[in-house]
Amino acid sequence: MSKIWNASEYDLSRRRLIPCYDSFYASAADLVARTVRDISSPAILDIGAGTGLMSEFVMQRVGKASLYLLDESTDMTDKAKIRLEAYVPTVIIQSMTEPLPDIQFNAIVSSVAIHHLTHADKRSLYERIFKALAPGGVFVNAEQILGISDWHEELYEEMHLGVARTLGSDDEEIRAAKERMTYDRSATLAEQISWLREIGFQNADSFFQSFRFAVFAGWKGG
């Protein structure tokens, strides 16, 4: 994603192009906060952290944590370091297909990033996430999903881009969004939840959905 996004435009575009922006990110952050509320200083990893949008939502609810940001773009993470300066994040520059840090995390989050991977790489990442979680830890993915049929996909696109226009997206931003979406390798919500359950995540389920944007999560038993 970092290769086809302009970091200087990312934040404003994200708010216009995710019609359910506040509920989408807040739902994910609330799941993290609920999971780590009894841990004095949890370790939290944001995969595909970008400019730190998801981490900001999380940290506003969690407060104190050891925060790790993983992304392959220094342009994006430079912005994240400024946004999250008060939380002193540790930045890890690498792709999502490389081994995760050798740390036991209490929460691992991602937002609108993993859908760029092949399905095989998605599942491989979910397996590595499961291993990287401490007992009781949670994985929360706020993600763009694939409709279960062409009819659903057409509806998702109509609602997505139609509302984006009402929020201020112009023709050029819509054109650029459509071009980026040609790189997408989204999976359905049901198959990704199924992968989590097969890997061993407990209580894996969907906790928010607005057309093509969904929040799903699973916990590691402990």
Mean of pLDDT values over 151-175: 82
The β-bridge relationship of strands 66-71 and 133-144 is unpaired
Distance CA 75, CA 174 (A): 23
| 194 has a pLDDT exceeding 70 | yes
- SS3 letters across the chain: CCCCCCCCCHHHHHHHHCCCHHHHHHHHHHHHHHHHCCCCCCEEEEECCCCCHHHHHHHHHHCCCEEEEEECCHHHHHHHHHHCHHHCCEEEECCCCCCCCCCCEEEEEEECCHHHCCHHHHHHHHHHHHHHEEEEEEEEEEEECECCCHHHHHHHHHHHHHHHHHCCCCHHHHHHHHHHHCCCCCCEHHHHHHHHHHHCCEEEEEEEEECCEEEEEEECCC
- The stretch 140-155 carries a mean pLDDT of 96
Q: Which fold has domain 10-219?
A: Rossmann fold (3.40.50)
User: pLDDT at residue 2 above 60?
Assistant: no
Range with top average pLDDT, 16-25, 137-146, 169-178: 137-146
**What is the average pLDDT score of the chain?**
91
Q: Indicate if the pLDDT at residue 37 is higher than 80.
A: yes
pLDDT, tens digit, 9 for 90 and up, residues 73-94: 999 999 999 999 999 999 999 9
Residue 196: pLDDT band (50, 70, 90) is very high
The encoded tokens of residue 214 equal 């969904």
- Whether 3 shows a pLDDT value over 90: the answer reads no
Taking the domains of the chain in order of start, what are their residue ranges? 10-219
